[in-house]
């Protein structure tokens, strides 16, 4: 089974929502599936510790038996760019540590979905960003496009950045973070004509949660 790196065209485009829907989708097909959030910025009290909302959502959507610390090894307090939060806390966001965490999950799961932070090129420190992490993992990329004004430009630039790092864009998802986008069909058509990868799902604006979107998404290869 192939594992994937999940990126978004920006922050707040529904990357975690779509990843959770894919995890539900995979589990319904009998796969051991886990979401991996190497670094997350923005934490709230959770029992005696702190936890990130997105990491908790990935844990809930994935198969059981994976600890939150495995799913999200770097949990930063402030909900700001990771390199800023890490510098404030004196934390080194080491790509090697993130890679090792991925390998541990991949040894136990049929499907690992590695979710980046924000967009594709979010800084991790002064010299590295999440695109460097994706390149280190050498995984095909799934891109979540937030269907809102500006999405065509953001999606095409993200696809170019993925290709520039020698990575394959395996597919993309059109997620609707808002209830009604003007000219949705026209925007979808423009993206389908221009992106070098198949559209694998159109996720409507759903208040029921990602479990309700399992029929709207698929993995590459028709799974």
Residue numbers annotated as active site: 37
| Residue 108 phi, psi (nearest 5) | -120, -5
User: Which of 31, 73, 15, 26 lies closest to 203, judged by CA?
Assistant: 15
> Based on C-alpha coordinates, what's the Rg of the chain?
16
At 151 the three-state DSSP class reads: helix
CA 18 to chain centre: 8
CA 200 to chain centre: 15
């Amino acid at each position: 089974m192939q594992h994937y790196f999940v990126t978004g065209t920006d922050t707040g485009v529904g990357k975690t929502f779509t990843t959770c829907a894919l995890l539900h989708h995979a589990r319904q097909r009998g796969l051991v599936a886990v979401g991996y959030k190497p670094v997350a910025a923005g934490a709230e009290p959770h029992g005696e510790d702190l936890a990130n909302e997105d990491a908790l959502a990935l844990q809930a959507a994935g198969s059981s038996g994976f600890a939150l610390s495995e799913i999200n090894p770097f949990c930063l307090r402030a909900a700001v760019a990771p390199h800023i939060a890490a510098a404030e806390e004196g934390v080194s966001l080491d790509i090697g540590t993130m890679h090792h965490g991925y390998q541990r999950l991949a040894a136990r799961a049929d499907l690992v979905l590695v979710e980046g932070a924000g967009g594709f090129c979010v800084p991790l420190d002064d010299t590295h960003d999440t695109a460097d992490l994706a390149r280190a993992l050498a995984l095909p990329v799934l891109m979540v496009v937030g269907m809102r004004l500006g999405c065509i430009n953001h999606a095409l630039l993200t696809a170019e950045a993925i290709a520039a790092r020698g990575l394959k864009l395996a597919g993309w998802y059109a997620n609707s973070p808002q209830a009604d986008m003007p000219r949705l069909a026209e925007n979808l058509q423009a993206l389908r004509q221009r992106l070098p990868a198949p559209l694998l799902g159109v996720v409507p604006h759903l208040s029921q949660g990602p479990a309700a979107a399992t029929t709207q998404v698929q993995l590459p290869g028709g799974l």
